[in-house]
Copies of this chain bind each other. A is one copy, B any other.
Amino acid sequence: MTAINIAEKLASFSEHWSPKIVASLNDYHVKLAKVEGRFPWHAHEETDELFLVVTGKLSIDIRAGGGEETIELGEGELYVVPKGVEHAPHAAAECQILVLEPAGTVNTGDAEGVDMAPTTGEWI
Contacts and interface: CB of A to CB of B under 8 A. Distances in A.
Nearest to A73: B3
Interface string A69-104: 101111011111001000000000000000011100
User: How many copies of the polypeptide does the oligomer hold?
Assistant: 2
A25 B7 CA distance: 24
Interface residues of A, number: 35
Interface string A1-30: 111111100000000000000111110101
Contact of A74 (B3, B30, B79, B100): B3
A5 B77 contact: yes
Contacts of A78: 3-4, 6, 22-23, 30
Interface of A: 1-7, 22-26, 28, 30, 47-50, 54, 62, 64, 69, 71-74, 76-80, 83, 100-102
5 contacts: A3-B73, A4-B77, A5-B77, A22-B78, A30-B78
Q: Would you list the 3 A-B pairs with minimal beta carbon distance, nearest first?
A: A3-B77, A3-B73, A6-B76
